[in-house]
Each structure stands twice: as structure tokens, then as C-alpha cells.
């Protein structure tokens, strides 16, 4: 169990037991199998009801549903208008709020603590610790998402879907890691997060306007490190050599992200129109740069925008773009046959405050406290998802992988030689509140398990002392801000949480984690 971290000391010495894997074609985590023993009959009935709705839809449209996943960046829980943010925070989100109320808005949705890890999770349905890619990637690194991992795009492509992605890839710079080599027919993608867009600008400006004044400039940086920052992103097609994105959208600068987003939504709407009448369904992964560090010039002076927070105007731009996507689906007559899920990749990053998102929860990007991992999310599917729902059911970003496969009739293409953490949430989407199959979550920071959520309770894992369990215990339903944690009020939860941990570790012993492509690559930022 090397690499799992010293904070696993909740009496785990006796916990390493192999968990029987059952007969599932997919290999779920141990806690899911334990829950399936208790609730399997009800889950089977729910799945049959969901299947009936999907069959009726297929009869109407003659093909499986289209799937659109929108992953945003650093937007905290509480940031959208429907959660109390929006115009009240100086970043109006009327279209996003309308989308939320027209479908299902999740108050208990969770991601990984930072950007690359969540992208791994949505692509593979697995906690990043299982994949060997443990930390946020930076320009020039050789690490990336292993080609041995099976992405949601590969699963759906094998099942006959058109697949395309736009946005922040951030899963490796090399050809072997590129989205067009990871299951996407077409990809228009940036390689990095938003910080490198400001490196050269900081060097050129030197007024303190930009935050990276010590960057030596592109040429000197390349001379010192060998890292070439002349290409910020690529256009890739399956089976073809990728090409650098031309123009402003492909060159690192403070203006790149807005140009990139505008070009992305133009391509997305055109692509949908081109595929709407195809006999094959489509899958879109839109990993928007909203919100990184950019400002939208179009909306900088828009009514209600906080002008001192550059991200506020970018939120208004993203709000416009999502409306364009939904309008296109309606205009093509395929909204009823298209699931759209919107979710943030982690909590806010306060490093460049006041240019930042915000959350009322404790912590931020990089933390396993609620502020780092609890995120806004909503699902929109006219005629299939009943509008006006606000379930408290758990949804984890890994669940989107398995749910997409189930909706696409493609679960047989999920590999069974590894653990898939994502849980099929089709019944939750189609039948409503109370139908989630998830009542637990594991929150990792790099290789370290930092917290466990079980029903209404959350345990922060610490070193044990004097034979007592190492934990801070919170009732998250009562205390979402994690302000009133203590060990003794949660002693009744020790055994159930230990049981979850035994089951979880049992699957690790049966299906060990993939080693990193570059040994030691995650050591500098193990918290990410």
C-alpha cells in the first residue's frame, strides 16, 4: 500500500482484505458492491423503469440519445444565480439559471480537488490515483493520461457515436496523450491552464498589472529549459497529424481565451447542425475555459458586472455561449434526444483575488474540504428530466462516465480489468430525487486519501493517536461549511467508515493502481 499516505491510519492494518468482486461486467469499488447487496432489487426495478423511458425515446428518434458534457473551470459552489450567486456576486448567469430550473440542479455534486484530476475522472470514470497521473500538469512535462486508460470518448465511439471535444484538455502535451488519440473524432483544444497566457504579458508589462513578473520571456525560457511555448493548442482529427490552432486563439496571451471560447462555440453549433440528421448520435465534451483568468471585452461593461473581477465578464460570455448551444439543440429539433450536463471542475482559486470565483464553503481549489470538491452542477434533458428538481442526492464527476455508457448502451465497452469508480446515475436523472445509487465518496489529494463522505457525515482523516481513530467528524447536511468538527460526536460513524475503507482498499489490493508514466512526477505537488 505504498503511496497511499500516512493519513490512512484509521486502523487500516486490519482492513486490507480482498473484496469479492461479484458478477458485474464493470468492476465497481467495494462500497458499491456492498450497497448492491442491500439495494440491488430496488435498483433493478429503477433501471427497468429508466430503460423503458430510453426505449420510448429511441423509438421516437431512431437512435440513442446525444450527450453533451460541459466542464467549467474553478466555479465554486454557490457561484451561480440559482445557488445565490449570479447577479448578486456581480456575475449574472440568467441562461445558466434557466437551464438549471428547466432540468435538475444538484446541490450535492462533487468533483476532484483540481483541474487535471477532474479531467481524468470525467474521461475515465476513475479516481486519478488509480491512473498513475496524480497532479496538475504544466508546460513541458512528459506526463499525461495513459493510452492504456479507456476514455468515455473511446467507449462511445466504439458504440457508434460521433465524438468531439472543445476546450482545455490539460491531460498531456504529447501526441500519445492528445484527445484525437484518446477516442475523439475531432478536437479543438488548448494544452494548458490559464496561467501561461499571462507569463509573457507579465514579462513585457512589468507594471505589476500581471502576476508573473519574474518570467524571463519566451526565448530565454526556451533557452534555459528547452520548453517551447509557441503553441498553445491544436486542432486534431482521428488518424491525422494535428495542427497548431492559427491566430489569436492559438497563441498564449491574455486575449487568447476569449478568442478560443468564441471560436469554440461557433464550431460547436456548426458541428451540431451537421450531425443532427445523422443516423448516429453524438457526444460532445466541452471543457470551457470559463472561468480562468480572462476578461470578456464584449461584456466587461455589461450591466451588473463586477468590473474589478476579470472573471465576472467571462462568466457572462459563457452564459451567452451555453444559451447558443441550447438554442441550437432546440432549433435542430433534437433537444429531447440530448442530455446536457454542466459541472465545474473544482472550487474557486483565490490566488489572484479579486479575479476569482467564490464559495461560502470552507476551502478552495486543491482542498478536500467542501469548498474544494463540492461544485455546482445541473442536468438538462427536455421531456426526459422533469423540470424544477433540486435533489440532494450525491453525484460525483466519475459518475458521468458510467452514466454516459449506460445511456449509450455501451457499458459492455467499459474494461473489467480495473476498478471503475463512476456509478450509473441514469435512474436519478430520469426518475428523480432519491434514486441515486451513491451514498459515499472518497476525496483524494494526489495519492493521499484526505476525507470520506458517508451519507450525511464527512470524516477528515488524520493520524490516529493513543489507539483512538484519527478523524474530524462533520455532519455535512447540518454544517456544509465544515465549521464544527470533532472526533467524539462521530464515534458511532467509526465502524461504518472503517467498513467503507476496508471495502475500498480491498479493490485496490485486487486491482493495483497504475504506476506513473514518469516516476516521481507528482512529488512537487502531491496535494493537487
Known catalytic residues are: 115, 170
Separation CA 306–CA 456 (nearest Å)? 36
Q: Which residues contact 125 (CB under 8 A, 6 or more apart)?
A: 152, 398, 399, 400, 401, 402, 414, 420, 421, 422
**Beta 243-244 vs 186-190: how paired, if at all?**
unpaired
- Candidates 340, 172, 65; CA nearest to 151 is 172
Q: What DSSP letter does each residue of 424-484 carry, written as one string?
A: --HHHHHH-TT--S--EEEEEETTEEEEEEETTEEEEE---BTTB--EEEEETTT-TT--S
Q: Collapse the DSSP code of 377 into the 3-class scheme (helix H, G, I; strand E, B; otherwise coil) and give the result.
A: strand
Residue 92: all three cell numbers together: 449574472
Alpha carbon 261 to its chain's center:
18
Separation CA 41–CA 164 (nearest Å)? 37
Q: Which residue has the cell 435538475?
A: 104
Continuous segment of H or E residues that includes residue 283: strand 282-287
Alpha carbon 501 to its chain's center:
23
Give CA angle at 317 (313, 323), nearest 5°. Answer: 145
- Beta strand spans in 348-438 (E): 374-380, 395-396
**Beta 395-396 vs 440-445: how paired, if at all?**
unpaired
Q: Which residue has the cell 445541473?
A: 378
Q: What DSSP letter does each residue of 312-342 carry, written as one string?
A: HHHHHHHHHHHHHHHHHHHHTT-GGGEEEEE
Amino acid at each position: 500500500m505504498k503511496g497511499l499516505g500516512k493519513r490512512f491510519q484509521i486502523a487500516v492494518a486490519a482492513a486490507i482484505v480482498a473484496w469479492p468482486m461479484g458478477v458485474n461486467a464493470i468492476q465497481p469499488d467495494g462500497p458499491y458492491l456492498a450497497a448492491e447487496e442491500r439495494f440491488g432489487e430496488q435498483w433493478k426495478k429503477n433501471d427497468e423503469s429508466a430503460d423503458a423511458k430510453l426505449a420510448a425515446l429511441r423509438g421516437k428518434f431512431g437512435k440513442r440519445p446525444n450527450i453533451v458534457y460541459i466542464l467549467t473551470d474553478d466555479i465554486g459552489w454557490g457561484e451561480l444565480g440559482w445557488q445565490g450567486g449570479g447577479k448578486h456576486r456581480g456575475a449574472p448567469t440568467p441562461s445558466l439559471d434557466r437551464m438549471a430550473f428547466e432540468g435538475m440542479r444538484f446541490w450535492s455534486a462533487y468533483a476532484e480537488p483540481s483541474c487535471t484530476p477532474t479531467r481524468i475522472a470525467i474521461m475515465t470514470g476513475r479516481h486519478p490515483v488509480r491512473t498513475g497521473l496524480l497532479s496538475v500538469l504544466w508546460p513541458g512535462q512528459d506526463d499525461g493520461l495513459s493510452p492504456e486508460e479507456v476514455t468515455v470518448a473511446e467507449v462511445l465511439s466504439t458504440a457508434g457515436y460521433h465524438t468531439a471535444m472543445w476546450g482545455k484538455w490539460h491531460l498531456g502535451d504529447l501526441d500519445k496523450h492528445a484527445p484525437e488519440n484518446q477516442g475523439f473524432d475531432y478536437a479543438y483544444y488548448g494544452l494548458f491552464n490559464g496561467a501561461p497566457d499571462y507569463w509573457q504579458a507579465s514579462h513585457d508589462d512589468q507594471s505589476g498589472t500581471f502576476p508573473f513578473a519574474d518570467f524571463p520571456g519566451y526565448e530565454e525560457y526556451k533557452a534555459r529549459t528547452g520548453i517551447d511555448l509557441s503553441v498553445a493548442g491544436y486542432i486534431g482529427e482521428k488518424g491525422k497529424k494535428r495542427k497548431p490552432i492559427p491566430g489569436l486563439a492559438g497563441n498564449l496571451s491574455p486575449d487568447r481565451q476569449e478568442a478560443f471560447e468564441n471560436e469554440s462555440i461557433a464550431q460547436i453549433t456548426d458541428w451540431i447542425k451537421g450531425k443532427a440528421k445523422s443516423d448516429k448520435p453524438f457526444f460532445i465534451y466541452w471543457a470551457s475555459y470559463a472561468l480562468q483568468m480572462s476578461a470578456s471585452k464584449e461584456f466587461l461593461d455589461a450591466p451588473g458586472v463586477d468590473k474589478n473581477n476579470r472573471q465576472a465578464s467571462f462568466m457572462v460570455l459563457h452564459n451567452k455561449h451555453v444559451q447558443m448551444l441550447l438554442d441550437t439543440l432546440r432549433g435542430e429539433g433534437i433537444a429531447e434526444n440530448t442530455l446536457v450536463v454542466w459541472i465545474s471542475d473544482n472550487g474557486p482559486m483565490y490566488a489572484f483575488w479579486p479575479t476569482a470565483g467564490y464559495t461560502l464553503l470552507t476551502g478552495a481549489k486543491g482542498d478536500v474540504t467542501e469548498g474544494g470538491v463540492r461544485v455546482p452542477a445541473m442536468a438538462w434533458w427536455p421531456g426526459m428530466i422533469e423540470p424544477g428538481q433540486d435533489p440532494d442526492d450525491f453525484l460525483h464527476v466519475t459518475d458521468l462516465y458510467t452514466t454516459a455508457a449506460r445511456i449509450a448502451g455501451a457499458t459492455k465497452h467499459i474494461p473489467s480489468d480495473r476498478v471503475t469508480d463512476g456509478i450509473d446515475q441514469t435512474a436519478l436523472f430520469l426518475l428523480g430525487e432519491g434514486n441515486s445509487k451513491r451514498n459515499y465518496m472518497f476525496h483524494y489529494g494526489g495519492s493521499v486519501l484526505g476525507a470520506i463522505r458517508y451519507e450525511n457525515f464527512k470524516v477528515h482523516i488524520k493520524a490516529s493517536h493513543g489507539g483512538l481513530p484519527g478523524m474530524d467528524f462533520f455532519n455535512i447536511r447540518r454544517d456544509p461549511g465544515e465549521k464544527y468538527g470533532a472526533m467524539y460526536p462521530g464515534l458511532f460513524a467509526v465502524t461504518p467508515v472503517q467498513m467503507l475503507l476496508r471495502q475500498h482498499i480491498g479493490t485496490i489490493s485486487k486491482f493495483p493502481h497504475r504506476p506513473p508514466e514518469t516516476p516521481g512526477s507528482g512529488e512537487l505537488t502531491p496535494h493537487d
